[in-house]
Every structure is written in C-alpha cells, then in structure tokens.
C-alpha cells in the first residue's frame, strides 16, 4: 500500500526561498558525510529540493559546508 507523503519541511516553514548562507538549515539536509539527502528520503517537494541542492553547492564553494565531512585531516 502507498504511504502518504511526508510534507516538505521548507514549505511547512512557510517560505519559498532557501538562503545559501544559512548553513545550519542546509546541514539538516546532509548526511553525516556531507552528501545531499535525496528528496525521496527527506520528503522535500521538487521546487525546494532544487533550491536546496543549489544552495548547498554554493555553500560548499564558500567553505560554509564541507564537500566531504571527516575527510583525512
């Protein structure tokens, strides 16, 4: 049987835009290794998953988020 879909967390916060500088929010959608959690697991809607992945990739560029967490050093 099909389970009902988990509501999108960003939609529930009542906002449409995700800020790439807010690394505390973004880090909730990363695995412990720093991968982006897929929408099928996080329950994000398509619009916000797109925004989220872009925001996370930007945050990685400016060293707010790691590309790989816990790598070597």
Partner 1 sequence: MTREYELVYIFDSTLEEEAINERLERFHEILKCPESSEPISGINHWGKRTLAYEVDGRDVGYYVVVQFETRPDLLGELERALKLDDAVLRYLVVLNEGLAPVTAAVAEESEPASAESTAGSAAESPIDGEAESTTDGPAEPAATEEVEE
Which residues bind to partner 1, rule: CB under 8 A? 2-3, 6, 9-10, 13-25, 27-28, 30-33, 35, 37-38, 40-41, 43, 58, 60-67, 71, 73
64 CB contacts (<8 Å, ≥6 apart)? 20, 21, 23, 26
Closest separation in Å from C-beta 38 to partner 1? 6
Closest separation in Å from C-beta 21 to partner 1? 7
Closest separation in Å from C-beta 42 to partner 1? 8
Nearer to partner 1, 17 or 46 (CB): 17
């Amino acid at each position: 049987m099909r389970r009902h879909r988990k509501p999108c967390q960003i939609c529930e916060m009542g906002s449409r835009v995700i800020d790439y500088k807010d690394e505390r929010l973004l880090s909730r959608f990363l695995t412990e290794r720093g991968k982006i959690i897929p929408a099928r697991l996080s329950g994000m809607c398509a619009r916000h998953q797109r925004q989220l992945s872009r925001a996370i990739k930007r945050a990685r560029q400016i060293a707010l988020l790691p590309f790989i967490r816990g790598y070597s050093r």
